[in-house]
Amino acid sequence: MRFARRLDAVPPYLFAELERKIEQMQADGIDVISLGIGDPDLPTPDAVVEAMAREVHDPTTHRYPSNRGSQIFREAGAEFYRRRFGVQIDAETEVLPVLGGKEGVAHLCLACLDPGDVCLSPDPGYPPYTSGPVFSGAEVHYLPLEEERGFVPDLDAVPEEVWARANLLFLNYPNNPTGAVAPEGFFDHAVALARRHGVIVVHDSSYSEICFDGYRAPSLLETSGAKEVGVEILSLSKGWNMTGWRTGLMAGNAEVLERYRHLKTNLDSGMFDALQRATAVALLDAADFPREMSFVYERRRDLVVEALRAIGLDVEPPRATPYIWTRVPAGYSSGSFAETVLERAYVVVSPGSAYGPSGEGFFRISLTVADDRLEEAVRRMETSLQSGILSR
């Protein structure tokens, strides 16, 4: 058999490798605690589950949905943006369903990038910002996210010739994996540069609803002129504990949305109508749920930050996202530290290097783990790492 070469052009999916490792240890009878994957441990809000159960019984939801999304879905999306961000979205032309943020990211690349084009992607960053462009035959130009700059890319450092070939710019705040938030004025600057260079901005807003200490993340679409150059992808996975449901929306520039929809009509037949209706319930009736989840993660964040500081690591508590991103101790690489933690504490942390070259020297801990397991993981790390790890 022969297979398409494009699959060889991207590294194996990070979490697939982690999962294989965990499975092996578990097969050996070891109780491994994974802090590797951002998959919420708590259930979807009751109102959403009940809506889904109800709607599934309605046979009008059983037929092919439309790639445009139902009126109910689009109006709920627009209403959410109005209430949450004060942003006006035209429910007819400026919002579409996505089958999760990942699907939106990957397919936007196919809709917007030609071979030879450049895609500007944050490094470290969510892996589909690399695989999407690569599958489209485009080149990735990494935008390093440096600690000194608050993990915000220096867009002015992108060479003119790269801007000239670029057609897509991925941004993601609150950010995975760094937990950083966008500083005031950053979106304005990005929009201004995108306009100047004719580049489409895609803001991945998967973590906008998980914020701490009173912080509320803004939408890119609040920025003046943003809708002329870009779209935003809002996922319900993290805020509403809906990773398994595969639901989210894309909002913003009508032309970009129309090209994405055009592509999608050739690839799939849209989102199950019952799920669209349940998503509308999440956006309208359970809009405050992510705030409750944020309190849970805030408490867990404080627990982990305290434990890591006790081990001797210099950790800055994030203002958003269920992730803690921090430097590995001196003498370790991302990979060797993750391996050491796994071998000594039977705890999985994500090596920063898996998110791109600039992630080297960091590791990520996910807080999407039940309280008792997180406490156990922290205890194990404190006892097994404190003694030896920093004196290596």
**Residue whose CB is less far from ligand PLP, 243 or 384:** 243
How many whole angstroms separate alpha carbon 89 and alpha carbon 280?
A: 15
Q: Which stretch binds ligand PLP (CB under 6 A): 99-107, 111-119, 131-139, 294-302?
A: 99-107
When asked if residue 141 is in the footprint of ligand PLP (CB under 6 A), the reply is no
Please tell me what DSSP assigns to residue 389.
G
How many whole angstroms separate alpha carbon 324 and alpha carbon 320?
A: 10
When asked if residue 261 is in the footprint of ligand PLP (CB under 6 A), the reply is no
Least gap, CB of 99 to ligand PLP (angstroms): 8
Least gap, CB of 116 to ligand PLP (angstroms): 26
Q: Which helix (H) or strand (E) holds 248?
A: strand 248-252
Q: Which stretch binds ligand PLP (CB under 6 A): 25-33, 96-104, 160-168, 190-198?
A: 96-104
Count Cβ atoms within 10 A of the Cβ of residue 324 and give its class: 0-12 exposed, 13-18 middle, 19 or more buried. buried
Footprint on residues 142-201 left by ligand PLP (CB under 6 A): 172, 176
Q: Which of 77, 248, 351, 356 binds ligand PLP (CB under 6 A)?
A: 248
Neighbours of 76 (CB within 10 A): 25
For residue 355 the two structure tokens come to 């998110």
- DSSP-derived 3-state class of residue 123: strand
When asked if residue 279 is in the footprint of ligand PLP (CB under 6 A), the reply is no
Q: Which stretch binds ligand PLP (CB under 6 A): 85-93, 98-106, 130-138, 275-283?
A: 98-106
Least gap, CB of 352 to ligand PLP (angstroms): 14
How many whole angstroms separate alpha carbon 357 and alpha carbon 144?
A: 9
**Residue whose CB is less far from ligand PLP, 102 or 277:** 102
302 residue type, one letter: D
How many whole angstroms separate alpha carbon 18 and alpha carbon 76?
A: 37
Least gap, CB of 54 to ligand PLP (angstroms): 23
Q: Which helix (H) or strand (E) holds 96?
A: strand 95-98
Strand pairing of 200-204 and 166-171? parallel
Q: Which stretch binds ligand PLP (CB under 6 A): 94-102, 110-118, 294-302, 370-378?
A: 94-102
Q: Which of 204, 209, 232, 298 binds ligand PLP (CB under 6 A)?
A: 204
The residue ranges of DSSP E strands in 165-238, in sequence order, are: 166-171, 200-204, 230-235
When asked if residue 101 is in the footprint of ligand PLP (CB under 6 A), the reply is yes
**Residue whose CB is less far from ligand PLP, 243 or 326:** 243
Least gap, CB of 235 to ligand PLP (angstroms): 3
Whose structure tokens read 């803690």? 324
**Residue whose CB is less far from ligand PLP, 45 or 248:** 248
- Contacts with ligand PLP: how many residues (CB under 6 A)? 13
**Residue whose CB is less far from ligand PLP, 105 or 155:** 105
**Residue whose CB is less far from ligand PLP, 168 or 385:** 168
For residue 98 the two structure tokens come to 């996505």
CA of 373: how far to CAs of 41, 290, 307, in Å? 11, 22, 14
CA of 270: how far to CAs of 65, 71, 96, 231, 256, in Å? 6, 14, 10, 19, 17
When asked if residue 270 is in the footprint of ligand PLP (CB under 6 A), the reply is no
For residue 31 the two structure tokens come to 């109780």
How many whole angstroms separate alpha carbon 67 and alpha carbon 193?
A: 31
When asked if residue 206 is in the footprint of ligand PLP (CB under 6 A), the reply is yes
**Residue whose CB is less far from ligand PLP, 39 or 285:** 39
Footprint on residues 216-245 left by ligand PLP (CB under 6 A): 235, 237, 243
User: Site residues (CB under 6 A) for ligand PLP?
Assistant: 38, 100-102, 126, 172, 176, 204, 206, 235, 237, 243, 248
